[in-house]
Structure 1
Amino acid sequence: MSKQTLGQSLYGWLQTITAVLTAIILVFTFLGRITPVDGVSMEPTLHTGDLMLVRSIGYRPRQGDVVVLTKPFDLTEGPIVKRVIAVGGQQVDIDYGTGTVYMDGAALDEPYLKEVMRPPWYGGLTSVTVPEGSVFVMGDNRNNSNDSRDVTLGTVDERYILGRAELVFFPFRNFGRIQ
């Protein structure tokens, strides 16, 4: 058996590291990514500092999904996390008097909400038909969430969606599937 020179050994390690980094980049680009939660708009479902696994490939938004999107608005920077309330073609009506959201005339069952919704400080939409290829999103902490009710965000084109938040994996006390 022949001995490798230092240069040959380093070259072998460099090839291995390059292959691993390429695989990681491909996985995060096409299959999913790790995204942190920043803010309180999704409490009690998600908390600031939670790290989530976000699935990208083959994802089509559905009502009730928690998604990560990149549409810039207001003073928000970076990815934002919200729940899909309605998809293209559906009608959303919001009754702030009762704190109820209706989708196509039916009241949504929303056990994930932090508290009863009050009118947002920024005004807010009360009725909208979601355009095809778009979604209407809201935070689970409705009283502390800039979301589709804010005209600066409004309905969100599906092309801004990075994917569905599937799992919190850190911190370990919050580990679990995102519902």
Structure 2
Amino acid sequence: MPEREEELSSGDALKQDLFLWLQTMSIALVVLILLFTFVGRVVGVDGSSMEPTLQNGDLLLLQSIAYTPKQGDIVVLTKPFGQVDGAIVKRVIAVGGQQVDIDYDAGTVSVDGVVLDEPYIKEAMVEPPASSFETITSVLVPEGSVFVMGDNRNRSDDSRDTRLGVVDEQYILGRAVAVLLPVGRFGLLERPVYS
């Protein structure tokens, strides 16, 4: 009889361990769902407009809650325009109250009269053909809006295109804080410091 009691108690112990494991996994799943719903999100990069900083297919972790856009941040937008559908990943060049000037001849972008040092861009910027779209070369960004550009300037639909222009902050899903996948590109995304 003592052997039978021992069998039952080990069977009960196994059931108890399984129940505890399921309970822990359920709580962890609920916490993850709440975190990704209210605090952060995961978004995939679609296209080459942010190369070399981000690659097509990269999976990004976004900071969504309590976020105020800052110059240099990489953000994900939801504002539809032209042929673009879905989330758009761009870099904030200027925020509300800042003056943006683009000099295609020199290949430079200035904010408040200071040329930005942009080591992250893929190649020198050239002016798009006039038939492509009407471009913005100078703008004072309204409060509550941002001016965004891709790091791959010659392959980016961004705020230079009048169809998008400056973007109201309500369209920002969040700031990209890290590349999650692929594993070989895993890491934090740093905001550049402009002088």
Partner of 2:107: 99
CA distance in 2, matches of 1:172, 1:114: 23
Letter in 1 for 2:34: L
Q: 1:155 aligns with which of 136, 142, 166?
A: 166
User: Normalized against structure 1, the TM-score is what?
Assistant: 0.88
* Cα deviations by residue, 1:101-126 (Å, 9 ceiling, x for unpaired): 01001100100000000012423110
Letter in 2 for 1:89: G
Residues 1:134 and 2:145 aligned together: yes
CA distance in 2, matches of 1:34, 1:112: 23
Q: 2:32 aligns with which of 17, 24, 46?
A: 24
Partner of 2:5: none
Q: 2:48 aligns with which of 32, 35, 40?
A: 40
Larger deviation, residues 138-147 vs 13-22: 13-22
Is there any run of 5+ residues in structure 2 with no aligned partner, and where? 1-8, 13-18, 191-195
CA distance in 2, matches of 1:123, 1:153: 10
Q: 1:171 aligns with which of 182, 189, 192?
A: 182
Larger helix proportion of the pair: 2
SS in structure 2 of the partner of residue 159 of structure 1: helix
CA distance in 1, matches of 2:46, 2:161: 19
How far the C-alpha of 1:62 sits from its partner, in A, is 0.4
Letter in 2 for 1:106: V
How far the C-alpha of 1:29 sits from its partner, in A, is 2.0
How far the C-alpha of 1:77 sits from its partner, in A, is 1.4
CA distance in 1, matches of 2:173, 2:135: 25
Equivalent pairs, count: 176
SS in structure 2 of the partner of residue 135 of structure 1: strand
Residues 1:78 and 2:86 aligned together: yes
Partner of 1:8: none
Q: Could you list the runs of 4 or more consecutive aligned residues of structure 1 that deviate by over 2 angstroms after TM superposition?
A: 11-25, 120-123
CA distance in 1, matches of 2:98, 2:34: 35
Shift in CA distance, 16/75, structure 1 to aligned 2, threshold 3 Å: farther
CA distance in 2, matches of 1:143, 1:91: 22
User: Normalized against structure 2, the TM-score is what?
Assistant: 0.81
SS in structure 1 of the partner of residue 31 of structure 2: helix
Two-structure CA RMSD over aligned residues (Å): 2.3
CA distance in 2, matches of 1:22, 1:176: 25
Is there any run of 5+ residues in structure 1 with no aligned partner, and where? 5-10
Partner of 1:145: 156
Partner of 1:69: 77
Letter in 1 for 2:109: V
Partner of 2:15: none
Name the larger-Rg structure: 2
